[in-house]
Amino acid sequence: MARRAIGGHQSAAMISDTWLTPPDLLQKLGAFDLDPCCPPVMPWSTASRHITPAEDGLKQPWAGRVWLNPPYSREAQAWMRRMSEHGDGIALVMARTETAWFWETVWRSPTATGVLFLEGRIHFHHPDGRRADANCGAPSVLVAYGWENARVLAGCGVSGQFFTMPLNTRARAAQEQEERGNG
């Protein structure tokens, strides 16, 4: 069966890991220092430093402003957890707002500052740079970590609905984190 889209009703084994971020979207978000999950060869640059599977972006130190579009065939939780801990950057993920990983790493993250729910569906790009014929089949969201990245999302011009994290949610997240630390 032909590979159609990321978010369709397919088994994980059928889904490629490498769905490149559309370059025009990335350009609107400014320069990044690190992209921790990249294919070995990229048709364009997403950040000053790219980490490939051979180096394993989850095992490497993260520094600076991070761009994260995590692999889709694996659990997003580990990548998003790392991003939440790092606290500086922007992530592009499926808007699976009800899932445990989304609650942990976005809604309850003490460092997540804003979300931009994209209008329409993204056409990602293949590893050779070609734009996919099909859209990704599901809604996407950009998540800001750190207030400077919320400011960028709010003014980036990517079409969608932007919200800052409610202060009560952030206060509760910080309290929960403190309790976990003391527990």
Ligand X SMILES: C[S@@+](CC[C@H](N)C(=O)[O-])C[C@H]1O[C@@H](n2cnc3c(N)ncnc32)[C@H](O)[C@@H]1O
**Should residue 20 be labelled a site residue for ligand X when binding is judged by CB under 6 A?**
yes
Which of 23, 160 has the CB closer to ligand X? 23
Among 29, 34, 57, 95, binds ligand X (CB under 6 A): 57
Contact status, residue 36 vs residue 67, Cβ threshold 8 Å: no
Which of 158, 174 has the CB closer to ligand X? 158
Which of 58, 174 has the CB closer to ligand X? 58
**Should residue 84 be labelled a site residue for ligand X when binding is judged by CB under 6 A?**
no
Among 21, 84, 105, 109, binds ligand X (CB under 6 A): 21
CA distance 20 to 43: 9
**CA distances from residue 183 to 9, 171, 178 in whole angstroms, order as listed:** 40, 18, 9
Residues 109-138 that bind ligand X (CB under 6 A): none
**Should residue 76 be labelled a site residue for ligand X when binding is judged by CB under 6 A?**
no
**Should residue 71 be labelled a site residue for ligand X when binding is judged by CB under 6 A?**
yes
Looking at the DSSP assignment, which residues form a beta bridge with residue 115? Answer: 143, 163
CA distance 70 to 16: 12
- Residue numbers of the site for ligand X (CB under 6 A)? 17-21, 35, 37-39, 46, 51-53, 56-58, 69, 71-72
